[in-house]
Amino acid sequence: MLDRDPACNRLLEPVLYFKGFHAIQTYRLAHALWRSGRSDFALCLQSLSAQVFQTDIHPAARIGSGFFLDHATGVVIGATAVIEDDVSMLHGVTLGGSGKAAATATPRCGAAC
């Protein structure tokens, strides 16, 4: 985070103050719960995170390591989204499917996109 956010001067700052970091950590916990079959608790965490951080990340989304969410307000990441490693994203981004058809329901974000 220090190398991608000029406002970050110490490693402690994201842990204490950055809602994008908090939203990602909440997603990671919700995702682990989702994968272990505890979908109700995972969706509850998603809902609380959306209310508190104004960032809606579905627990079924697949997000790689090194994901950086700067400012975070208004970000929506749907259940079918795939975000590869080391992706930076700013506020106001929506990654969601445009329908149930397999060809249109999986938005991707990463080096090959």
Q: Are 69 and 86 in contact (CB under 8 A)?
A: no
Answer yes or no: is pLDDT of 2 > 60.
no
User: How far is Cα 21 from Cα 13, in angstroms, rounded to an integer?
Assistant: 10
Q: Are 31 and 12 in contact (CB under 8 A)?
A: no
Answer yes or no: is pLDDT of 56 > 70.
yes
Q: What is the pLDDT of residue 91?
A: 84
- Under the banding of pLDDT at 50, 70 and 90, the label for residue 90 is confident
Q: Are 75 and 57 in contact (CB under 8 A)?
A: yes
**Region 67-95 average pLDDT:** 90
Q: What is the pLDDT of residue 84?
A: 92
- For a pLDDT cut of 90, what percent of the chain falls above it? 51
Q: What is the pLDDT of residue 50?
A: 96
**Region 22-47 average pLDDT:** 97
**Region 68-79 average pLDDT:** 90
